[in-house]
Amino acid sequence: METSTIGVSIAVPEPYGSLLQQRRAGFGDLAAHAIPTHITLLPPTEVETATLPDVRRHLSDVAEASRSFPLRLDGTDSFRPLSPVVFVRLAEGAGDCSQLQERVRSGPVARELQFPYHPHVTVAHGIADEAMDRAQSELAGFRAHWTVTGFSLYEQGEDGVWRTMGDYPFGHPSTATAVPQQTARPGAVASPGDPLHA
């Protein structure tokens, strides 16, 4: 029986996605270039490859019934000591993400979660405590917001890299409008045109 490891996420748009991915790599997290910057809706899940058409139909139905919503990132936090993760917090949109992931995590991909759902953007995972501390401190001033208009299906390759299998735009626009923005305290993050900060 052939299987695939899939996940469903909200991609963090540019320039924020690449910026946070570069910063994650700069903190020494070797997974940074294998994992696009995202907010998880369905964690890594093994499915029979033959069921992927059913999964795609399910995701299309969920997306078609969903409405776009504003999302705002603001500052950092950590799951330590429970889990070795530093992340950028959702200051707005967490409730919408929670409802969306419940709808995604049903039907052909129904599964239980290891931990209660807590939407976030990982910026360091499983690295030395000193590097985790640096990630939490240096990105503490990171802020960005945009309107979420859909989600994406990803598959993990044999090389460990996650690649997009398809995008699923929402069927209903929101009445609210959020324009992508980024602000940060001096030195907290690189500007989109700056070289990578190690």
Assigned architecture for domain 3-157: Alpha-Beta Complex (3.90)
pLDDT digits (tens, 9 = 90+) for 44-100: 999 999 999 999 999 999 999 999 999 999 999 999 999 999 999 999 999 999 999
- Which pTM was predicted? 0.86
Asked if 150 and 134 count as a contact pair (C-beta separation under 8 A), the reply is: no
Question: Does residue 135 register a pLDDT over 60?
Answer: yes
Q: Per residue in 148-166, pLDDT tens?
A: 999 999 999 999 999 999 9
pLDDT at 157: 96
Give tens-digit pLDDT for 8-50: 999 999 999 999 999 999 999 999 999 999 999 999 999 999 9
